[in-house]
Structures are given as structure tokens and as C-alpha cells.
């Protein structure tokens, strides 16, 4: 009897300690982590002014200043950026800050504030990134739910028949394949394409965000299954995440596989919006005249007279990235980005949404890339560009490229791209053990409570917050009741012995 009672007391004490130490995750939706009516507006401030919810929210944010803050994203209006002090929010919001763009686009003052917040995030090495999303029904539903709830502490996506559960969703993925292996002492050329799995950038409409991935599939089909070249091999990499933050690439580049690529790659060619314009620009971190590998890459595309070359040195002390190749340039690799679009910030400031690239435009871009790779490596392509295959790739990635506030790419889209890359590099090549295969690397990015779904599958649920006083009172009642029971059963001295003896 004493053993049972003692075990019960210890269990309750442990539960009480955990309850006191645990910090509930708070999704501060609607605008900023500010709790006065001048910031929120009447509808939301009416709910936040209720004492229990307000104190619980504030307590969560201030009880442990060493923590990075809420792990769910913060939703704000771009039009409110200039009226708020958002630096503390950016520094602490581990789930990222989602800026909702107005229908008419940003004005100059708002764009400047957005850029300043980005600089704050880079300088402070904030845990979460800053994203921009167009206004959608999902955002509207989120605001309405915030206004209608008496107290909102955690806002999460509920299970729905058409929605994926957060446990099965993939945040960021990197698919890599060594399609043409270099000889033992040879080097490799790496081709990198990104596809937007976060739906976080407004200049990537469907199917424009999948265009670079489609070009990569065409290049893999052109060179896949070939034997080793005389001096160079070819590696293809599809990296998911956000074009604005290069989430997948940054996480993959520090892995053993990423480091190995940098060690053996002569040059890394990143593709970004190559089908968005006929005139492309090659962005480099070093002047091609001072880098033999980059000079060879420029020559493969017809020389400096055939295309524009823009060089911007990478600051080793800064984590700020404008282009994908800077991820590799930070590690000392000869890298460049072939782009037909503006850098992320410029596109955002101009509120410009790129027109979706047509399959024919993607095919033309793929021809340019394949021709340059052939001249650079000396490997002759075995397959021509296929518009039909491009259309298939665009359809497969369609669900992942629609602009929406989402932290999870549909698994079927990842799987479809994986299968197409595998099929492309293996076509006509060796079978079995020696056949080239695509490696899949997965990285977590957002916790389950930070998962959003597209408007047609969005089911949002609010959980009422419990005041800290209520938690303390409940814990005290449980512990006090058990202590009184122990004293009643065994007396004061017996109760003390129960806790002190084994």
C-alpha cells in the first residue's frame, strides 16, 4: 500500500513539474505580436483584451526570453509594416513571418520596411525566415477565426479528408543524382534547380515555379545513362524550399553528401527562372576572368558577347543570399546562377508576378542549358528535349507551385519528380546495381502546428488558452489532496517516511 501511494505521489509531482515548466506554443495570427487595439483593430483586440487570454499569451512570450519564440508562423499585413515595431517579432518567431501582400502591391515605404526586416533577420540570425504571400481565402479564414475566438492560444490545421496530416507532410526535399560518373581522377559539373515547396513567394505562379525543375528533368534525360566522360561527370540536383531563402539547398549543403559535391565539382550551375525570359544573365560570385571554371562556363554559353554576366562578391561574414549559387560560393566552390528573373527582393518591391512559362519556352531554355553542358563537359546528349515530358512534369508539380501560404509540399509531387528524374537518368543506361539512381534527402522545416493547407482543404481549429492561475490551482489541488490522503492513512510521521524510504 505504501509503495503504491508513494509511486502515485511521485508521479503527480513529476506531472506538476512538467506542467509548470512547459511553455505552450502560441500562434499569434492576424497581424503582429502586439496586443493593443491600435495595432490589432477592434475585432481582434476585443478577444485579446479578455484578461485570461491576454495574460496567458504575454506570459508565454516573456517567461523565457532565451527561447526563440513561437514555433508557429506569424501572419501580418504588408500595409501594417510601417506602423509597427516588428524587429522583436522577426528575431523571435521561429516559425517564420508571413507577410500578406495587398492586391495593389507594395508602396515604396512598405517595401523599404520589408527589406529592413530582412536585414534584421539576417543580422540577428533569426530562427525563422520571412515570406510573402498573396491574399487568399486561407488568410481571410485565419483572420475571421482569430476575431471570433474568445481566446486563441494554438491555431492548427485539423485533420480533413482532403488534407494531409502534418505528420506525413514533407517540408523540404533535395533530390540528387550522379547521372554521368566522372573517371577516378575526374571532376564533375553540378546542375541545380529549385522548386517552390513553401508557396511563399508571389513571383512564382503555377506552373512557373516548376519550370526550372522541368529543365532539370530534360537535362537528366539528355545525359542520363551515359558512360563516364573523358574528364568530367554530371550531377543533377533538385532542391525544394523557398526561392527566396533557398531552404533546401542551405540545409543540404552542410551534409556529408553536400560537402562531397563541393569537393568534386568543378563548377555548380544553378537555374532560376531560365524560361521566364529569352535574355538570360549569368550571376557569379567571382569574376569569370579570375576563375578558370567560370570562364569555361561563360564560354559554353557562347561567351560574354552572347549573354550578360553579373558579378557580386559574397560576404563570408553574412548569411544573406540573393541567388542559389551563393550557397556553394560560401563554401569556396566555383558557382553561378543562370537566371531570367529579378532577384527575390527586386521582384517583391515591384510587385511583379512572372507570367507562367509555357512548355515551349521551357523547351527552348532546356536546349540552351543542354547545349552548354555538352560543350562544357564534352558529353554528347543522347535524347532530345520533349515538350510532352515537360508537360508531364508541370502537371506533377502543379499542386506544389500554386501560390499559397503552405509549409508542406504535397508528397505526391515530390514522389512524381523523384520518379521522373529516376526514369530520365536511367533511360537507355545500365540496369541493376550499376544504374544511376536519385538520392532523396528530407529535412524538417516547420513543426506540425505551423502547417497550412490550400484554401480548398483548409480546416482551422482554435484551442482555448488556459490561464496560468488555473493551471497552478489545479496542480495545487491535486498535490494537496494526495498529501492529505497520505497523512490520513499513515499519519504525519508515516507520510514523511513514505517519501524518504525506499
Report which DSSP code applies to 81. G
Which run of H or E residues covers position 62?
helix 51-62
Cβ contact 443:251 at 8 Å: yes
| DSSP assignments along 349-400, one per residue | HTT--PPPPPHHHHHHHHHHHHHHHHHHH-PPPSS---HHHHHHHHHHTHHH
Burial (CB count <10 Å: 0-12, 13-18, 19+), residue 360: exposed
Cβ contact 297:325 at 8 Å: no
Provide the pLDDT confidence category of residue 230 given band limits of 50, 70 and 90.
Answer: low
Count of residues in the chain: 502
Asked if pLDDT for residue 61 goes beyond 80, the answer is: no
Cβ contact 437:246 at 8 Å: no
Interior angle at CA 222, CA 221 and CA 226, nearest 5: 95
Interior angle at CA 190, CA 189 and CA 196, nearest 5: 160
Cβ contact 370:189 at 8 Å: no
Asked if pLDDT for residue 467 goes beyond 50, the answer is: no
Provide the pLDDT confidence category of residue 499 given band limits of 50, 70 and 90.
Answer: low
Domain ranges across the chain: 1-22+474-502, 25-163+452-464, 172-445
- Residue 491: C-alpha distances to residues 3, 329, 485, 487 (Å): 16, 73, 9, 4
Phi then psi for residue 187, to 5 deg, are -115, 180
Among 95-109, 177-191, 348-362, the minimum mean pLDDT is found in 348-362
| DSSP assignments along 149-199, one per residue | -S--SEEEEPP-TTS--GGG-BSEEEEEEEEEPPPTT-EEEEEEEEEESS-
pLDDT, tens digit, 9 for 90 and up, residues 315-364: 766 666 778 888 888 888 899 999 886 654 444 333 334 456 788 988 99
The per-residue pLDDT of the chain, averaged, comes to 63
Which of 344 and 260 is assigned the larger pLDDT? Answer: 260
Percentages helix, strand, coil for the chain (3-state, rounded to 5) are 45, 15, 40
Global pTM reads: 0.57
In whole angstroms, how large is the CA radius of gyration of the chain?
27
* Pairing of β 172-180 and β 154-157: unpaired
Phi then psi for residue 350, to 5 deg, are -85, -5
The domain made up of 172-445 is a member of CATH 3.40.140? no
Which run of H or E residues covers position 272?
strand 265-272
CA distance 34 to 39: 6
| DSSP assignments along 416-456, one per residue | HHHHHHHHHHHTTS--GGGS---EEEEE--S-GGG----GG
Amino acid at each position: 500500500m505504501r509503495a503504491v501511494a508513494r509511486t502515485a505521489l511521485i508521479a503527480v509531482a513529476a506531472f506538476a513539474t512538467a506542467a509548470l515548466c512547459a511553455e505552450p506554443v502560441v500562434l499569434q495570427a492576424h497581424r503582429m505580436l502586439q496586443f493593443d487595439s491600435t495595432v490589432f483593430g477592434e475585432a481582434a483586440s476585443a478577444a485579446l483584451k479578455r484578461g485570461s487570454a491576454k495574460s496567458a499569451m504575454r506570459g508565454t512570450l516573456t517567461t523565457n526570453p532565451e527561447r526563440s519564440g513561437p514555433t508557429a508562423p506569424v501572419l501580418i499585413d504588408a500595409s501594417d509594416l510601417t506602423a509597427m515595431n516588428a524587429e522583436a517579432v522577426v528575431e523571435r518567431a521561429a516559425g517564420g513571418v508571413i507577410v500578406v501582400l495587398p492586391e495593389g502591391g507594395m508602396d515604396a515605404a512598405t517595401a523599404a520596411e520589408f527589406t529592413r526586416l530582412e536585414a534584421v533577420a539576417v543580422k540577428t540570425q533569426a530562427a525563422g525566415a520571412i515570406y510573402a504571400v498573396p491574399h487568399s481565402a486561407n488568410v481571410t479564414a485565419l483572420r475571421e477565426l482569430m476575431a471570433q475566438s474568445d481566446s486563441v492560444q494554438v491555431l492548427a490545421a485539423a485533420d480533413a479528408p482532403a488534407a494531409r496530416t502534418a505528420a506525413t507532410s514533407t517540408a523540404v526535399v533535395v533530390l540528387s543524382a550522379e547521372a554521368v560518373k566522372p573517371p577516378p581522377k575526374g571532376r564533375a559539373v553540378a546542375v541545380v534547380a529549385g522548386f517552390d515547396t513553401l508557396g511563399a513567394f508571389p513571383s512564382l505562379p503555377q506552373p512557373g515555379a516548376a519550370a526550372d525543375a522541368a529543365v532539370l528533368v530534360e537535362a537528366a534525360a539528355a545525359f542520363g545513362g551515359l558512360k563516364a566522360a573523358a574528364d568530367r561527370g554530371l550531377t543533377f540536383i533538385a532542391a525544394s524550399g523557398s526561392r527566396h531563402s533557398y531552404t533546401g539547398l542551405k540545409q543540404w549543403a552542410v551534409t556529408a553528401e553536400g560537402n562531397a559535391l563541393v569537393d568534386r565539382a568543378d563548377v555548380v550551375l544553378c537555374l532560376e527562372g531560365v524560361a521566364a525570359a529569352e535574355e538570360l544573365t549569368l550571376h557569379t560570385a567571382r569574376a569569370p576572368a579570375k576563375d578558370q571554371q567560370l570562364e569555361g562556363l561563360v564560354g559554353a554559353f557562347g561567351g560574354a558577347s552572347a549573354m550578360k554576366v553579373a558579378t557580386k562578391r559574397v560576404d563570408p561574414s553574412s548569411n544573406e543570399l540573393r541567388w542559389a549559387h551563393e550557397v556553394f560560393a560560401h563554401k569556396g566552390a566555383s558557382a553561378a546562377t543562370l537566371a531570367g528573373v529579378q532577384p527575390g527582393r527586386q521582384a517583391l518591391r515591384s510587385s511583379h508576378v512572372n507570367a507562367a512559362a509555357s512548355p515551349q519556352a521551357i523547351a527552348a531554355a532546356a536546349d540552351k542549358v543542354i547545349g552548354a553542358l555538352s560543350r562544357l563537359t564534352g558529353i554528347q546528349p543522347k535524347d532530345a528535349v520533349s515538350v510532352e515530358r515537360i508537360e508531364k512534369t508541370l502537371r506533377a508539380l502543379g499542386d506544389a507551385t500554386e501560390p499559397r501560404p503552405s509549409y508542406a509540399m504535397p508528397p505526391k509531387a515530390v514522389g512524381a519528380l523523384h520518379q521522373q528524374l529516376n526514369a530520365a537518368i536511367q533511360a537507355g543506361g545500365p540496369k541493376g546495381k550499376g544504374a544511376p539512381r536519385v538520392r532523396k534527402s528530407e529535412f524538417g522545416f516547420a513543426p506540425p502546428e505551423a502547417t497550412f493547407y490550400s484554401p480548398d482543404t483548409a480546416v482551422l481549429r482554435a484551442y482555448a488558452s488556459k490561464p496560468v492561475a488555473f493551471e497552478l490551482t489545479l496542480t495545487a489541488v491535486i498535490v494537496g489532496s494526495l498529501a492529505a490522503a497520505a497523512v490520513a492513512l499513515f499519519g504525519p510521521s508515516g507520510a514523511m517516511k513514505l517519501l524518504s524510504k525506499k
